[in-house]
Each structure stands twice: as C-alpha cells, then as structure tokens.
Amino acid sequence: MAVSEMNLSPSEFWDLSWYEFGLYLLRFKKKGEEQLRLHESGWEKTRILWATLVNSYAKHPVKPKELITLSYDKEVSEVKTPKLTPEEVLKRFSKNGNK
C-alpha cells in the first residue's frame, strides 16, 4: 500500500519511523475522505434534482434522502427511512398515481 497507493519508494518506506508512517497514513486517509466528499457532492445535486422532479408530479412528496442515501445521512439522522423501489418512484411520478 505504501508503494502503490502512497507513492513511496520501497527505500523511502523502510527508512520511515513509525511516527512518519503515521503521518503518511493520516494524509492518505484525508485524501480518501476528500475524494468521497467530492463524489457525494455530485450525488447530492442529483438527488435534489430527482426529488424536485418527482415532487412536482407526486401526490406524496419524497425527501431526497429517500431516493439516494449518502454516507453523511446516517450521521445526521439515525432514523431509518424506507428505500423506494423504482416502481414506487414511477407510481409517485405518474400524475394519476398508477401506471
């Protein structure tokens, strides 16, 4: 992992102290969290747009969290929200409630 993911040469890795290696691991973890945040920010926009589209035609409004769950949704609320199946979304999306 140190060579392939953290871009250390084998000689650099073997010359590290435990403290220095810990700092590399913290930096690696921070980069991973940043990549996850960027990835999920795109999905946040998608689920808001999707919920807006569904709610403009639905009889029963949905929250964006019900359509796509992201990692930070679990931290904010421990309440379990039911996942909607594609058929339920289509049913809510149709004007007359059935398709």
pLDDT 10s digits, 45-94: 999 999 998 888 878 888 888 888 888 887 555 555 567 777 887 777 77
Could you tell me if residue 1 is inside a domain? no
Could you tell me if residue 22 is inside a domain? yes
The pTM for the full model equals 0.56
Distance CA 95, CA 99 (A): 9
Amino acid (1-letter code) at residue 60: H
Could you tell me if residue 99 is inside a domain? no
**Tally of structural domains, the chain:** 1
Q: Has residue 4 got a pLDDT over 70?
A: yes
Could you tell me if residue 42 is inside a domain? yes
Query: In terms of residue numbers, what domain contains 64?
Result: 10-93
